[in-house]
Amino acid sequence: MERQARIRKIAAHITPHPAFPRKSAGTLPDRHFVTALARGLEVLACFRHGERWLGNQELARRCALAKSTVSRLTHTLTRLGYLIHDKEQSKYGLGPAIITLGSSMLSRLDIRKLAHPKMQELAEFAQCWVSLGSRDRLSMISIDAVHGSAAVRFRLDSGSRIHIASSAMGRAYLAAVTQDERDELMRRVRERADVDVNRWPELRRGVVKALRDIRELGVCTSFGEWKQGINAIAIPVRPGGGLPPMAISCGAPAYMVSKEFMLDSVRPRLIALANELEDSLGTHT
């Protein structure tokens, strides 16, 4: 009954067939938007999981900004402690001020503390990884991740980024937001330089299917769509405290965990985990 109630609750907020419209050409600029600040934050966001050093040229390419602009931004961020500069390599790495920001945010996440032991229990049962993630631009970033005891070559760790439209976690997030926000995010996905024009229909179909799956199954799926040979399911959760939706995903290599096992055995436990969390946080309706 709990599972069916959750499916009905999620489905009530979903429009059956999203159009993903393009942004209107007549959209007015936001006069309160500080472009220089946004560019500085974009530079910080260029550092991906596992990357230690990036030069101005690579940062300029990733941000689609002039190298001279990026040079001024990296100089300023270094002076403020958000970047450190290695003169030998002439490259930049994330600085200690970033840790302060991240630690302050993570310490506020009651859901992270409550979820961790429950996620570990599920990971041991399924012998997979279980990850709690939040959206950052067009990615989901893992803010906590646990793994089963079985040794695997591929797993999702804390700090990892995954694509919002092809991953189960990203699709669970998209299912939890309003259609307007979903449309805007998918418009941005479509316009990204690294999304091949031939891949867009596949991504769109995957998200439309995810909305159907969450109504019928209570979870979103990604079987080999995010990465070949990886099976994953995910569910949205509401952390409360004015924070946007998050998602919990459970995944593993297909040779270890089949689609059938994910749907028949892992899915009801993942739904129960999300219900327990929202009950503890007072966000379960």
CATH assignment at residue 263: 3.30.450.40
Q: How many helices (H) and strands (E) does the chain have?
A: 11, 8
Distance CA 259, CA 143 (A): 25
End residue of a domain, out of 84, 101, 118: 101
Task: Express each pLDDT in 130-147 by its tens digit.
Answer: 999 999 889 999 999 999
The pLDDT confidence band at residue 20, using thresholds 50, 70 and 90, is: low
How many CA atoms lie less than 13 Å away from 43 in the CB half-sphere?
34
Residue 142 contacts residue 119 (beta carbons within 8 Å)? no
| Residues 9, 40 within the same domain | no
Q: Which parts of the chain are beta strand (E)?
A: 83-86, 91-94, 129-136, 139-147, 161-163, 220-223, 230-237, 246-253
| Residues 114, 251 within the same domain | yes
How many CA atoms lie less than 13 Å away from 235 in the CB half-sphere?
32
Task: Express each pLDDT in 66-117 by its tens digit.
Answer: 999 999 999 999 999 999 999 999 999 988 888 767 665 655 567 888 899 9
Give a yes or no: residue 198 inside a domain: yes
| Residues 18, 48 within the same domain | no
Task: Express each pLDDT in 143-178 by its tens digit.
Answer: 999 999 885 767 778 888 899 999 999 999 999 999
Tell me the whole-structure pTM to 2 decimals.
0.77
Residue range(s) defining the domain that contains residue 96: 35-101
Taking 90 as the threshold, does the pLDDT of residue 198 lie above it? no
Q: For the chain, what is the domain count?
A: 2
Locate 156 and state its tokens: 């999702």
End residue of a domain, out of 72, 101, 130: 101
pLDDT at 18: 46
Distance CA 84, CA 92 (A): 6
How many CA atoms lie less than 13 Å away from 217 in the CB half-sphere?
24
pLDDT at 255: 92
Question: What's the CATH number where 39 sits?
Answer: 1.10.10.10
Average pLDDT of span 25-30 = 60
Average pLDDT of span 240-245 = 87
The pLDDT confidence band at residue 53, using thresholds 50, 70 and 90, is: very high
Mean of all residue pLDDT scores within the chain:
86
Give a yes or no: residue 245 inside a domain: yes
pLDDT at 24: 47
Instruction: Measure CA of the first residue to CA of the last residue in the chain; give whole Å.
Output: 14
DSSP 150-203: S--S----TT-EEETTTSHHHHHHHHHS-HHHHHHHHHHHHH-TTS-TTTHHHH
| Residues 166, 94 within the same domain | no
pLDDT at 157: 81
* Percentage, residues of the chain above pLDDT 70: 84
Average pLDDT of span 216-226 = 96
Give the three-state DSSP class for 278.
Answer: helix
Taking 80 as the threshold, does the pLDDT of residue 285 lie above it? no
The pLDDT confidence band at residue 25, using thresholds 50, 70 and 90, is: very low
Distance CA 140, CA 163 (A): 6
Average pLDDT of span 247-268 = 96
